[in-house]
Amino acid sequence: MPVAAVLEIDQVSKRYGDVLACDRLTFGVRGGELFGFVGGNGAGKTTTMRIMLGVVAADAGEVRWNGVALDHSARRRFGYLPEERGLYPRMKVLDQLVYLAELHGFGVNEAHRNAENWIARLGLREHRDDEVQKLSLGNQQRVQLAAALVHEPDVLVLDEPFSGLDPIAVDVLAVILRERADTGVPVVFSSHQLELVERLCDRIGIIRDGRMVACGTVEELRAGSGTTLVVHAPAAAPGWADGVEGVSVVERQNGRTRLRLADGADDQPVLAAALATGPVHEFSRHRPSLTELFRDVVGGDS
C-alpha cells in the first residue's frame, strides 16, 4: 500500500455565520484504504465532504488529489453519496443510473451495463423499472449508493453510507467498499456506527468542532490511551477507586465500573481497592474500543 496520501485535505476552513464548521482541517487519505470519518453531530464531517466534492467552497485551504488542487474535471472522477439523499423522485431506477453514468461521460451501452451491474449487486433487480419515490427508504438508499458507484469512480466520498441499511445490506456494502479500495481507490466514509468503523477501516479520523483531533489506525489512536479495566464489585460505593494512582473512572453501571488505567500504571492496586469494598466477580483488562477513544477525545457527550 502506498504510504503517501493521494487525497489531501490541507488547512481547510469554512465558516457559517458564527459557526466555524472547518477550522484549518488537515488530513490525508491513501490510495486503497478505507478511511473512517467520525465525529459528533455538527462536528463538520458533512461540510468537509461537501468541500471535497466542490459542492461548497472553502473559505481557505485546499483539497489536492495526486498532489494537484482539485478542479471540476478531477471531481467528476469522484463518487459521492451526499448526506441529504437525492434522486429524481419520478424517474425509474435504471433510467436514473444510466443518466448519471452518461453525465459522467459514459457511452449509452457502457452506462447501461454499469447500471445493470450495480442494480444486481445491490439487490435492486426487481425494482429496476420502478420510480424511485415508490421504493422503501432502504431501497432508495441502495439506489443512491448505486448512483455513487455507477461511473467507476477513482475516489469514493460517502456520507453515512450505512445508515438505514439492513444487516445484510451492511455486509454487502462493506464487501463492495473493500473491493473498491483493493483496486487502489481511496474510500472516505463517515459513520456513527463506531463498531463498524473500527472493524472495517484501515485508518480513522476523529473530528471535533471542525478540527481533526485524532487520526490514524485504531492502534495508533490507542497509543497513550492506556488500558480499560472492567471491575464488577457490587458492594463498591461511588468513588471507591478515587485514591488509586493512574486510574480514572469512565463509567459506573449496575455495580460494574469501567476504569482507564494510564500507560505503565499497575493494575493490582485497583484490584486491591476493589476487594476492599467486598466481593469482586469480574476484573478484566481490555484495549479501549473506538467508542471509548471517541468519548475520550470528543468529551463523552456524544
Partner 1 sequence: MTGRDISASRTVWLVARRELNTRLRTKSFLIGTAVSLAVLIGFVLMQSTLFAGESTSRVGLSGQATSIAGRLAAEAESARFSVRTSTVDDLAAGEAMVADGELDVLVSGAPSALRVLVRENLDEDLRKALNTLVQEQVLRAQLAAVEDLDPDQVLATVADATIDVRALGPTDPNHDQRLAVALVIVAMLYMALLLYGTMVAQGVVEEKSSRVVEILLATVRPWQLLLGKVLGLGLVGLTQFAVIGTVGLVLATATDVLTITGAATGTLVWGLVWYLLGYLFYATVFASAGSLVSRQEETQAVLLPVTMVLVLAFVLGFGLLSRAPSGTATTVLSLLPPFAPILMPGRIALDAVAGWQIALAMALTLASVAGLAWLGGRIYAGAALRTGARLKLRDALRP
All three cell numbers of 251: 463509567
- Tell me which of 72, 129, 224, 284 binds partner 1, using CB under 8 A: 72
Binding span for partner 1 by CB under 8 A among 48-56, 169-177, 224-232, 236-244: 48-56
**C-beta of residue 157 within 8 angstroms of C-beta of residue 50:** no
- Tell me which of 66, 183, 217, 248 binds partner 1, using CB under 8 A: 183
- Tell me which of 86, 279, 299, 300 binds partner 1, using CB under 8 A: 86
All three cell numbers of 215: 487520526
Question: Is residue 17 a contact residue for partner 1 (CB under 8 A)?
Answer: no
Q: How far is CA 108 from CA 96, 101, 104, 264, in A?
A: 13, 8, 11, 63
- Among residues 88 and 276, whose Cβ is nearest to partner 1? 88
Please name which of 256, 258, 238 lies closest in space to residue 248, comparing C-alpha atoms: 258
Binding characters for partner 1, 98-137, by CB under 8 A (x = yes)? -xx-xxxxx-------------------------------
- Among residues 110 and 267, whose Cβ is nearest to partner 1? 110
Q: How far is the CB of 75 from partner 1 (least distance, A)?
A: 6
Report the alpha-carbon distance of residue 97 to residue 110 in Å, rounded. Answer: 11
Instruction: Compute the residue count for the chain.
Output: 302
Q: Which of residues 144-163 bind partner 1 (CB under 8 A)?
A: 147-148, 151-152, 154
Q: Are strands 155-159 and 60-65 parallel, antiparallel or unpaired?
A: unpaired
Number of H helices, E strands in the chain: 10, 14
Helix (H, G, I), strand (E, B) or coil at 80: strand
Q: How far is the CB of 96 from partner 1 (least distance, A)?
A: 9
Binding span for partner 1 by CB under 8 A among 96-104, 188-196, 241-249, 263-271: 96-104
Burial 155-165 (b: 16+ CB within 10 A, else e): bbbbbbbbebb
Q: Which residues bind partner 1 (CB under 8 A)?
A: 50, 53-57, 72-73, 75-78, 80, 82, 84-91, 99-100, 102-106, 147-148, 151-152, 154, 183-185
